[in-house]
Structure 1
Amino acid sequence: MVLTLPGFCPENPKNGFWYEEKEKGRCILRCEKGYEPSNCHVLRLVKGKWNHEIPHCKNATWISAKSILTAEVGSAAAVVGVPAALTAAGFTSAGVAAGSLAAWLQTPFTAAGSWFAASQSAGVLGAAASTKLGVGTLTGLATRFLSSKFSNCEKE
């Protein structure tokens, strides 16, 4: 059962209201259609202070800042990370570097079209756009997952 106690939750913001869950001791910001909370929208009063900055209702955007950050991290990983990782492993523009991980993994039986051959081609010619797109997408998804996992915002 949800009860509202006057004065427990922060003052209602423009374009929204606070929903109080007395039994859970928390306040949840609800925004009108076309608006979204500016930050963590579930608050608790801890030792007389709110556990997060009090959010307000802002115009909803078609793409969130978190999505933009995810895309930027994925792009950076694809453009910078792939070539750096290949070079570090020993797949260089001059061929396999002596004494490297790549040299250790290389065998006389390395077949054309294998992952090793593809890595060497990427080391010599640069990674293909499709490879960069795949790495960027996977890195972006991992970034989004991890940022959500370690967020200090309470879920409803």
Structure 2
Amino acid sequence: MNNRGVLHKLMLVVILTAGFGLAIALPQLKKQADIRHARQALQTTQQLLAAEQTFYKQNGFYSADLAALVPDLPCQSVDGPKGTVLHCHHYEFALETAQTLRAGSQKYPKWLTVSLEDGTITCHHEDGSWVGERLCARLDL
């Protein structure tokens, strides 16, 4: 009977240790995934910016059909009142004005804003959003 008690205690220690390990590791894994998604959004934003600038040089105006600009993006295109909105996994992309493209996170209050005229990309987040602040800092814009 004494051996059974030792075995149960040993199993309890192993289970508790694994639980604490998961409790510490899971938030870090989620944070790394959020950073990876933000970098993917930045790459997509850069592709859309280059395509818009090429379209402008050829036509004299910016395209409202983002899906047609970069057809190989794995995004769902939805027509809205201001033009096409691209829903790409964790982010969505839309023309905010005739010369401003916006990428917004579906999870956190974080936005990439692109000025199509001068090609600048800026990262914004809602005031008080430490998650958005950290993601913007990690994008090195």
TM-score normalised by the chain length of structure 1: 0.28
TM-score normalised by the chain length of structure 2: 0.30
Larger radius of gyration: 1
RCO higher in structure (CA 8 A, sep ≥6): 1
